[in-house]
Structure 1
Amino acid sequence: MDVLRIFCVAMCVCLCQSEDGDLGYSLTIGNAIDVFANYGDLSQVSQVISADYDEDVTEPAEPFREKNIRVFENITYAEYSGDTMIDMNILLCGTLDELLTTYFQNFRIEGTDKPWKAFLGDWIHDEIMRTLGIEPSPSLDNCCYVLVKLTKVERSVQLGNLDRVVVKDYVRRAIEGLDVRNASDVRRFMKSYGTHYIDSYVIGNFIYQVFKYKRDGYNLLRSYLRRSRRQPNSDIVRYYFSSFFLREVGEIRIASGNKIIEDWARKNLRDSQYLFSRPSLLRLHYNPILAFKLNDILDTGALLGLHLKTLKPLFKDKFTADRFAEIVENDMKLWEINA
């Protein structure tokens, strides 16, 4: 009985070391996460893409639901309000890999060149294609893509300088007992206290549509947009998005997964060309009334950008900091290759 009582007291002491709100699951600037805990499927714990295509999801989405822990005592940060109106972008992607890289262009994870793999690396090809709103295809030869998206930013948050930051006591004690020459010891530390901290993030939403192109049509569109960067002619842009150049017009999706807004877009953003009528975000390019309507109903339940940095600032000793970062980044490369 005495042994059991001692064990329980010890457990309580360990749990108390990270209490007072230090452990959470919502998006908190400066907190640390273990990227490897859900590597390849981070999209399941962060609302970054409309993945629930088989479900009727109408409830407001939570942008971030990954376990994180407070490791710094006295952080500072700046918060900025977003734009009041949606902004349209037409993004050219020569391959599927470029399409995924472009989709996640505002996501950075120190130690990897392909952050999208941390979010979708474990997904099978067909799941990724359906999530992007396009039909799975057994062959990707000679296919190009254009990603059209309209973004609405609610707020962005940026962590302040960490030069004089104070490390939490329970993290400092764990560091004192850490042997960074032992990779296994370092990995155990990662599981308890994380690999990266949240340096910045952006909250809002965007609605997107993927157009799959024939190579020749894609090259013509790319040449035209390069010549007309300042103010492309709406009629000419519409012509290059016609069936003559396209292989497929993807479904309209929304990053927050809000099916009510997706349904509204499919019904109200129909574009008629020749004998065809189909949903197209390009209608918003030359119909400001619809653009204002969408702006009014667009929610802000998606994570639009995220920058994660390795936990080097935890370690005051340069050798320890560099060794920790080296192990994290080497593991990141291995996971990236195998994803």
Structure 2
Amino acid sequence: NLSIAVQPVTSVETYTPVFNGDYHMEFCDNLSQLLQAYFRDFYIQRMDKSWKAFTASWSKAAMARHLGINTTYITDQHSYVLVRVARHRTTESLSAYASNREVENTVSKEADKVVIGDTASVMDFVRNFGTHYIASYVTGNSLYQVFVYSPPIYRRIKERLKTGGLKDLSNLELLSFFSPWNAEYIGKVQSASGNSTVEDWATKTLKLNFYFFNYVSLFKLHGESSLLQTLDRILGDEALLQLTLRTVAPVFKEFEKQQWFHEVIDNNLKLWEVNM
């Protein structure tokens, strides 16, 4: 996927942050890439496609609801651009804490029962204590929006931005590319937390006009420091924005036992991914 920062979130005049977070767009050739982009900041160690852990049970209706688009556009015949502005509030890293902390006696005793070459002993441990722990997370809130395109138009826009990014686009080109003039469908602006007050603010404030089109767009924030400052204030600490899960293998003292644990986990994760 091609990912592009929409604009710096620091004031050019004072070099102070006008928005504490991230404002970017991601080009997605197909639906799979869109779902992957949606869960870009969610990582599960030793899973090839972490995003599938969160979307495997989603129906077309659920996908459409989460992405803010009509079910008509949940197909393999469309391409997408995901625009997201995320306000980071709380960042926690538990990796150092987990590695320095003494393993609880109960866990240690069960870990000692795992036998190299015995799959059942690993599965017994997993049933009691799981496979992963939370290594780090970021909370806050975000607004996001999906733009749907026919593949030929999408490819033309993607190539145009790939060469020079947003800085080489005129305001007219930017408006045109991300307006109903080129987009087949423009999704709703939604918040990660589902906060209706924030979403209502976006609907009322982020309106754009392009020729005879009137629509709501996150690109209204482009070059608008005052709007970003308002958003910086109203996006609260309400949703999980980033998550890293790592395996509990470090609880096993012997390196060979850690390897055996990973081998069993890998086989089960791959089997699960194939059957999703």
- What is the CA–CA distance in structure 2 between the aligned matches of 1:123 and 1:136, rounded to whole Å? 12
- What is the CA–CA distance in structure 2 between the aligned matches of 1:157 and 1:331, rounded to whole Å? 29
Amino acid at match of 1:199: A
Indicate how the Cα distance of structure 1 residues 267 and 306 shifts in structure 2: closer, same or farther if over 3 A, else same.
same
Indicate how the Cα distance of structure 1 residues 163 and 274 shifts in structure 2: closer, same or farther if over 3 A, else same.
closer
Cα deviation, residue 176, structure 1 = 2.1
- CA deviation string 1:70-123 (max 9, x = no partner): xxxxxxxxxxxx995343201100011101111211111112111111112111
2:10 is matched with none
1:53 is matched with none
Cα deviation, residue 138, structure 1 = 7.3
1:277 is matched with 214
- What is the CA–CA distance in structure 2 between the aligned matches of 1:128 and 1:209, rounded to whole Å? 13
Within-5 A mapping of 1:219-230 = 219-229=155-165
Q: Does 1:97 align with 2:32?
A: yes
- What is the CA–CA distance in structure 2 between the aligned matches of 1:143 and 1:100, rounded to whole Å? 13
What SS does the aligned partner of 2:184 have? strand
2:257 is matched with 320
CA RMSD across the alignment: 2.1
Conservation of the 8 A alpha-carbon contact between 2:23 and 2:84: yes
Identity %: 33
Conservation of the 8 A alpha-carbon contact between 2:69 and 2:186: yes
What SS does the aligned partner of 2:167 have? coil
- CA deviation string 1:167-208 (max 9, x = no partner): 111111112223353323322211211101222211222110
1:217 is matched with 153
Indicate how the Cα distance of structure 1 residues 129 and 290 shifts in structure 2: closer, same or farther if over 3 A, else same.
same
Gaps of 5+ in 2: 1-16
Conservation of the 8 A alpha-carbon contact between 1:89 and 1:150: yes
1:240 is matched with 177
Which one of the candidate residues 88, 94, 101 is aligned to 1:153? 88
Q: Of the two, which has the highest radius of gyration?
A: 1
More helix by share: 2
- CA deviation string 1:285-317 (max 9, x = no partner): 143332222222111211111111111101111
Conservation of the 8 A alpha-carbon contact between 1:199 and 1:309: yes
Amino acid at match of 1:102: A
Conservation of the 8 A alpha-carbon contact between 1:310 and 1:328: no
After TM superposition, the structure 1 stretch with the greater mean CA deviation from structure 2, 179-188 or 258-267, is 179-188
Conservation of the 8 A alpha-carbon contact between 2:19 and 2:229: no
Q: Does 1:333 align with 2:260?
A: no
What SS does the aligned partner of 1:265 have? helix
Conservation of the 8 A alpha-carbon contact between 2:31 and 2:76: no
Indicate how the Cα distance of structure 1 residues 89 and 315 shifts in structure 2: closer, same or farther if over 3 A, else same.
same
User: In the comparison of the two structures, how many residue pairs are matched?
Assistant: 258
Q: TM-score, normalised by structure 1?
A: 0.71
Within-5 A mapping of 1:81-96 = 84-96=19-31
Amino acid at match of 2:120: S
Within-5 A mapping of 1:52-201 = 84-137=19-72, 140-158=75-93, 159-160=95-96, 165-201=101-137
Gaps of 5+ in 1: 1-81
What SS does the aligned partner of 2:91 have? strand
- What is the CA–CA distance in structure 2 between the aligned matches of 1:252 and 1:138, rounded to whole Å? 16
1:35 is matched with none
